[in-house]
Amino acid sequence: MSLNDARPRRVVNGGTSVNYGKEKPRDIVLGRNVHISCHEVTEPDADDEVTGEREAYMASVLARYRKSLLERTKHHLGYPYNLDLDYGALSQLQRFSINNLGDPFIESNYGVHSRQFEVGVLDWFARLWELEKNEYLGYITNCGTEGNLHGILVGREVFPDGILYASCESHYSIFKAARMYRMDCEKVNTLLSGEIDCEDFKAKLSLHKDKPAIINVNIVKGAVDDLDLVIRTLEDTGFAHDRFYIHCDGALFGLMMPFVKLAPKVTFKKPIGSVSVSGHKFVGCPMPCGVQITRLEHINALSRDVEYLASRDATIMGSRNGHAPLFLWYTLNRKGYGGFQKEVQKCLRNAHYLKGRLTSAGIGAMLNELSSTVVFERPQDEEFTRKWQLACQGSIAHVVVMPNITIDKLDDFVDELIERRVVWYGNGKLQSPCVAPDIGEDNCLCVLHK
């Protein structure tokens, strides 16, 4: 399995950090080209139009596929994707080739676009992060990785000789950007809580005082890098505001956090350069997408060397999916700030419910107060893990409680888990594993710790 954006990166509680990026003895898959059983594209027979056989064949493939999607969607617990989609009102638009090519704010001659919706969505996010309409530039990206690639690129263009600093808990796309862009990169240690260790950050900054700093700040679920402390560390080390660029990787949690009481605040009132979040995670969208907001003043750095370009070059991609803005616009308009707040609260509540049910059943579990991710022992049976699409690492598994994860679904899951455990652990004859190193002694319910 690739690490690509897919798995929640980290679950943190009680000073214990589980880092998916550091998983050790995993085989590096190089050069393997597995042709999984695929639906081959075959040449139609000459008489297919007459017999209708081709249409019938394809309809049956699609019907079976739809059935499997229903089943897979129903039993999904492990990824931070909201699978509760209700976009029937938009199906009338599927037949159009909607393309917002290039800059969202500059009209194209191509008329089949959705810029008027995209800009509405961008304004909403700019408002959320407190940047004025005429001071931001943003666009709807294809995924979180594109947002990170964009943010780090803007940082590099603002400071061509800048050093990239990112904690080792950062999403792998940050290090990928460093490699793609040929930037010098300093990996910064993390605290046990998973957030960036500003002592180590300071020490590494001090090594390169002559070079500007480009910093990736993680705002991922569980523990969040302390943005204020990062900024203070920069200042204390002698970096004036015109000598650093901060990109905030919001991924999933960047959108949940504004609605969580007591959570630290991401705002452009602080000296940050860009924020990106995923659109298909908490909001929910049939295809991956994301939102990228950057200070307008920095975008010009992207277009500085205009030899090859006769216009502002604000986006990484050229042709851009015009359907994603419609999905986001539709959901934001229906739910509003208020709706999201309710959903975040529901997720946190349901996550507490799950933790409660697990511990009542004698299964140790952990839940951070700002998170809706529940961590517990890894099921002994791979088939069970696959069925519920749990993300696992070492001896633990986790569930990300998204808005589509209902109490009923959690009950089904826990009931089945309890049932299976009887088989795995021989009705108490075998000991269930100790997971204290992963979730802390307080949370573990093994023989030793309960």
Give catalytic residues, as residue numbers.
371
- Smallest distance from the beta carbon of 207 to a second copy, in angstroms? 19
Provide φ and ψ at 440, rounded to 5°: 90, 150
- Written as six digits, the tokens of 62 are 């699609």
Query: Do 80 and 281 form a contact (C-beta atoms < 8 A)?
Result: yes
Task: Tell me: does residue 381 bind a second copy (CB under 8 A).
Answer: no
249 within 8 A of 216, measured Cβ to Cβ: yes
The per-residue DSSP string of 265-284 comes to ---TTSS--EEEEESIIIII
Find the part of the chain contacting a second copy (CB under 8 A) among 30-38, 210-218, 233-241, 411-419.
30-38
Q: Which residue has the tokens 């604000």?
A: 314
Rounded CA gap, 189 and 283, in Å?
A: 31
Q: Is 176 in the site for a second copy (CB under 8 A)?
A: yes
Instruction: Give the nearer residue to a second copy in terms of CB position, either 169 or 444.
Output: 169
CB of 432 to a second copy, least distance (A): 23
x/- mask, a second copy, residues 269-308, rule CB under 8 A, reads ---------x-x---xxxxx-------xx-xx--x-xxxx
- Footprint of a second copy on residues 337-366 (CB under 8 A)? 337-339
Quote the crossing angle between the two packed helices 115-128 and 323-360, to the nearest 10°: 40
* By the rule CB under 8 A, 19 interacts with a second copy: no
- How far apart are alpha carbons 176 and 291 in whole angstroms? 19
Q: Is 96 in the site for a second copy (CB under 8 A)?
A: yes
Stretch touching a second copy by CB under 8 A, among 32-40, 197-205, 231-239, 440-448: 32-40
Among 15, 53, 56, 59, binds a second copy (CB under 8 A): 59
Using the rule CB under 8 A, is 50 a contact of a second copy?
Answer: no
Q: Which of residues 135-174 bind a second copy (CB under 8 A)?
A: 135-137, 142-146, 149, 153, 172-173
189 near a second copy, judged by CB under 8 A: no
Angle between helices 407-424 and 323-360 (to 10 degrees): 50
Which 312-331 residues touch a second copy, going by CB under 8 A?
A: 312-324, 329-330
Distance from CA of residue 157 to its chain's centroid?
Answer: 25
Residue 388 half-sphere exposure toward CB, CA atoms < 13 A = 26
User: Closest separation between CB of residue 428 and a second copy, Å?
Assistant: 30
